[in-house]
Chains A and B, each alone.
Chain A
Amino acid sequence: MTVELHSYLILILVGFLPSEVWRWLGIALGRGLDEQSEIILWVRAVATALIAAVVARIVFIPPGALAGVPLSVRVVALAVGFFAFLFIRRSAFAGVVVGEAALVFGAMMFGG
């Protein structure tokens, strides 16, 4: 099997199926489900924490070009972006723009 074909097989087995199965279950269960049930609340908390872990992973163990920016700059830029988000009408757009600007500024000031 070629490497290319292998990567598509992995995409289906490890990406598509584990994600899609919840949509299928949603169809099967229809409306017999309470969105405020305790199990759903717990699952939502676990999934939210997992997303946070992904954010932390990309910042702490960054891929490719991002690794050229010092760790301190990456962490501070994320924090600055988040504070901009909080103080500028909870606008995600403002947060992202300010965070990116902080990253560029920090990288140019403190070596990249």
Chain B
Amino acid sequence: MEQPQQQPPQPEPPQQPARPWPRVFFDGYATAIRSVFFYVLVGNYVGLGALAFEFGFSFWWMAASTLLIWAAPAQVILISTLTTSALVEVALAVTLSSVRFLPMVASLIPLFNAPGVRQRDLLLPMHFTAISVWVEGMRLLPARPRGERVTFYNGLGSGLISGAIIGGAVGFYLAARLPLLLAATLLFFTPMALLMSTARNARALLDRLAFALGLVVGPLVAWLNFGLDLMWTGLIAGSIAYLVHRWREAKSMKATP
């Protein structure tokens, strides 16, 4: 079915004289530091930094992985499986965990459409797109003049990513020096944060079922030990959840003609 591409005209923010880009960038950066996500990210990455330390990665490798990947689940997968799994399996698991960026980025693009903005100008801001930056961007960008949006979003992303890098560094440093039990609590932070944040974002039955099945199927597949266990768990548990979702949709369609 053809969908209308034309969007209703939105009220544009008033035209102001162009501000110098460092001011706009700093505006975005300051907004990031005041955002609640900044502190959530610091906590999250403290756990990740400790994880990186335990698995024997270097301090700078951890910082580089945050800067380059900028996706906590992908980084957890990379760090926790790289020493034990085949590279192909790690790459597959990382790529599956990051598919969510496709619809996220695609939904942001219309906000950046402006005269003079080319596709390659969007490579950097879209690299900054992670769940935190995306949520704040969707909320704040519409009120910004179109000409400032790319710069503002770059500032926002830089601010949040710097919180993550600081958190990672702190976690790496602490894991090496804390008593064993406290180091264990730092490492336990990552699975708990993943569990809670996924549960909070799970709106539909589909998400909840996929997560619950993954928790059960994961250890089972790992125990059966036929390799590529993360990928198989994702495919098996995810597909079952999807089929149940389809089946329920079909049933409710019949119930309400």
Contacts and interface: CB of A to CB of B under 8 A. Distances in A.
- Which of A35, A41, A42, A53 has most B Cβ within 10 Å? A53
B123 A27 contact: yes
A49 B191 contact: no
Q: Interface of chain B, helix or strand or loop or mixed?
A: helix
Contacts of A69: 181, 184, 188
A12 to B, nearest CB: 7
Interface residues of A, number: 74
Interface residues of B, number: 101
Interface string A32-67: 111100001111111111111111111111111110
B188 A103 contact: yes
B76 A54 contact: yes
Given A15-B75, A42-B238, A57-B222, A104 B94 contact: no
B68 A46 contact: no
Given A23-B126, A26-B109, A53 B233 contact: yes
Given A49-B210, A56-B215, 11 more contacts: A11-B65, A22-B95, A22-B105, A45-B207, A48-B211, A50-B231, A50-B238, A52-B198, A57-B80, A64-B54, A69-B181
Interface of A: 4, 7-8, 10-16, 18-35, 40-66, 68-69, 74, 77-78, 81-82, 85, 90, 92, 95-96, 99-100, 103-104, 107-108, 112
